[in-house]
Structure 1
Amino acid sequence: MTRRLGCAAFLLALLGTPLLLLLIVIAAQTTPRPAAPPIETVGQVSGIPARMLAAYQNAATRLPQQVPTCRGMRWPILAGIARIESNHATGHTISPGGDITPRILGPRLDGSGAGGNVTPFPDTDNGRFDGDTAYERAVGPFQFLPSTWNGAGRDANDDQITDPHNADDAALGAAVYLCGKGRDLGDRGQLKAAILQYNHSQAYVSDVLGWIDRYSQLSTGTIPIGQHATGNARTVIDAALAQEGVPYSWGGGNANGPSTGICCSPSGKSGTRIRGFDCSGLALYAYAQVGINLPRTAAAQAGAGRRIPASAGVGALKPGDLVFFAYNPTNDSTIHHVGIYLGNGKMINAPRPGTNVRTEALWDDGFAGGTRLL
């Protein structure tokens, strides 16, 4: 029996294997990479105000004009610095033009020990940036000393003013300062050296690198956006979501559902008369629905499964994981809050007295990673 070849098979047989290899190479080169999430999603998931995020991105884009020999600058590097220095100017107003009010000022560096300094820094700017005509203060979202700003400051919004209290100018100035005479910030060693120059503390370097790595996951699109829970994780999440609107009650909640609390608060918003959940009570209840018995407190729950450190970032979490917050994110004994991760940078939790069980974005402040039990 004669077997007929389809058109493609006949052509390949006629021209031979090299064409097949060529087609494979072309297909590999044209396969689209996963796109990074849009700026709105990055801002929501990362906790960075959109206007500050735009300033970081703008600085990374404009840097080659300022330091052509510098390589490897990315917005997560600037975001990591600003997260430690000012928490992205959180609590301040940022105008469309990038001006930050009220101004962000560090302690007076008068040698008294305020802010940890013992060496006085006499005034260099006649109070122009810090309002102090006797001693220096660190200024702006990147906490520049006025004397340092005089060399690193740049006009990034083309208003003919170089202002450390402007998000765009400050971000570009920080990028210039980190680059020095032309570092390769894609090299981990040179990146560490740049951060150490910014602040002479190894603990500071470690903190900043942790945030850079977390933000980098977003910049490359490796944080899964819009994840879907399945199996037991779906059961846990559905059980918790069914409790939305139930009041917070300190000590409330068990494997059977909401219960009255065990203590009170001066505000009267939590006490033995309120039937509901506290944060760990909600987690305990949700996991009981799949036969997992959790300890009662958030700190103890952190040790109940496979620990996911904060340094792994949000991208390491999966729906159904417990997510924790601590006074010191590197010390589990200081954990004070727990939620249940939903995916897409969100959690369901019982936040505090006077609130109800609700869904919200993961808190940036005190994020201490998660635990996986499923």
Structure 2
Amino acid sequence: MNPLLALQIAEHVRNEIREHPKKWGCLTLFLLFGPAIACVLVGVLIIIVIAGGAEGVDAAPGHVPGIPDVMLSAYQRAAQRITNIRPACAGMRWSVLAGIAEIESRHAGGRNIAPNGDIAPPILGPQLDGSGVGGNRTPIRNPDGSFARAVGPFQFLTTTWASVEQDGNDDGVRNPNNAFDAALGAAAYLCGTGPRDLRDQGQLRAALFRYNASQTYVSQVLANVERYDAVELRPAVAATGDAKAVIDAAMSQLGMPYAWGGGTAAGPSRGIRDGGVADRHGDYNKVGFDCSGLVLFAYAKVGISLPHNSRAQFAAGVRVSKEAGLGALRPGDLVFYRPGFIHHVGIYIGDGKMINAPYSGAGVQVDAVNVREYAGGVRLR
């Protein structure tokens, strides 16, 4: 038999193994325990509805490319806490704060951001002496007579900060050059003191215009907000160096369709026919990845060339034994599944999770590692 055909058949069998047990298993459970499951689902739905009604709670991604993790945490925390300060304000979300900070400071770009949010060196705008720097033609002075200047990642005027200053990290200091303090101060400023619903586009535009009286500015922020609102949830990954580059490459493909036989070092590619599961899902008409194709692509980013087959990838690198458990894995390690022959591979991201292209009909996604099927890992670096 042609070796490539044999490998393709193996991949096809893997799809059948992974797809059908879940399908028939779920059906059997439903028939046996349908009433009980329905009660549980109703209870969960009630909890979700109650939780969803809590104003100001905003589930931010753990990591967004281009935003330092501390800054993202500051935006998220401010969106969650603002209703304690402005109870009449609704609809605040992390993306609104991120949309402003991107323009004002590029998320404190070029600065060191400590875990407590302190930014060094401080971000200081020019003195607003009316000389025309930054478009300023009207002198603005502090109460002591000195010229005002914009400070921090949200570029507050010193006079404005005095009216909205907040202690976002609970350290007893209200510092506009602290990410958590500044983000909560920005949220307070946008909310104002009266009723406001930032889910309403008109009210959001008015709040942004109050922040900076320029329609061009408002449009730029709204474009940023729309882009951040569309960000997929991504877990924070404690990885550095090559491992981070590999994981970031894989994460950049979240949602990309599964396509049997798809994926090259350059990115997603058109799938191929398998005569079974993949064909029923139309993989041959999709551009995407299969499990080993995603791994091949991600590791190509750090100069490692891999074969397009999970069993062949299992033979590469240094083995991490199954018996050592998931605790022995490091972010970036490959994780493999059996029973029987090796039929699936993913990239470990930490905390018992992996990113993978699971099966036809799905997309690239983050899943918990299935310890029952876990066959061990491979470390390539």
Give the Cα separation in 2 of the matches to 1:70 and 1:197: 15
Runs of 4+ with deviation above 3 angstroms: 22-33, 227-234, 346-350, 355-358
SS of the residue corresponding to residue 107 of structure 1 reads strand
Question: For residue 245 of structure 1, what is the aligned residue in structure 2?
Answer: none
Question: For residue 74 of structure 2, what is the aligned residue in structure 1?
Answer: 55
SS of the residue corresponding to residue 266 of structure 2 reads helix
Give the Cα separation in 2 of the matches to 1:229 and 1:319: 5
Shift of 1:239: 5.7
Matched, 1:114 2:133: yes
Give the Cα separation in 2 of the matches to 1:165 and 1:176: 16
Question: For residue 171 of structure 1, what is the aligned residue in structure 2?
Answer: 183
| Residues 1:68 and 1:229: Cα distance change in structure 2 (over 3 Å) | closer
CA contact (8 A) 1:155 1:161 kept: yes
Gaps of 5+ in 2: 1-29, 50-58, 235-250, 272-286, 306-381
Give the Cα separation in 2 of the matches to 1:87 and 1:108: 20
| Residues 1:32 and 1:169: Cα distance change in structure 2 (over 3 Å) | closer
Give the Cα separation in 2 of the matches to 1:179 and 1:206: 18
Question: For residue 96 of structure 1, what is the aligned residue in structure 2?
Answer: 115
Question: For residue 298 of structure 1, what is the aligned residue in structure 2?
Answer: none
Shift of 1:105: 1.2
Match of 2:217 among 196, 204, 209: 204
Match of 1:216 among 229, 232, 255: 229
SS of the residue corresponding to residue 149 of structure 2 reads coil
Shift of 1:25: 8.8
Aligned-residue CA RMSD (Å): 4.5
Shift of 1:28: 10
Partner deviation per Cα, 1:238-272 (whole Å, 9 max, x = no partner)? 2636xxxxxxxxxxxxxxxxxxxxxxxxxxxxxxx
SS of the residue corresponding to residue 106 of structure 1 reads strand
Q: Superposed, which structure 2 residues align to 1:316-331 within 5 Å? A: none
SS of the residue corresponding to residue 164 of structure 1 reads coil
Question: For residue 153 of structure 2, what is the aligned residue in structure 1?
Answer: 141
Partner deviation per Cα, 1:199-234 (whole Å, 9 max, x = no partner)? 11111111111111121223778x996344566994
CA contact (8 A) 2:142 2:148 kept: yes
The structure with more helix, counted as a fraction of residues: 2
Shift of 1:161: 1.6
Partner deviation per Cα, 1:165-219 (whole Å, 9 max, x = no partner)? 1111100100000001231111111011101110111111111111111212237
Question: For residue 142 of structure 2, what is the aligned residue in structure 1?
Answer: 123
Given the two structures, how large is their TM-score scaled by the length of structure 1?
Answer: 0.51
Give the Cα separation in 2 of the matches to 1:164 and 1:96: 16
- Overall identity of the aligned pairs, in %: 44
Gaps of 5+ in 1: 1-7, 13-18, 127-132, 242-285, 291-317, 321-341, 359-374
Give the Cα separation in 2 of the matches to 1:144 and 1:104: 10
SS of the residue corresponding to residue 90 of structure 2 reads coil
Match of 1:157 among 166, 169, 190: 169
CA contact (8 A) 1:163 1:169 kept: yes
SS of the residue corresponding to residue 167 of structure 2 reads coil
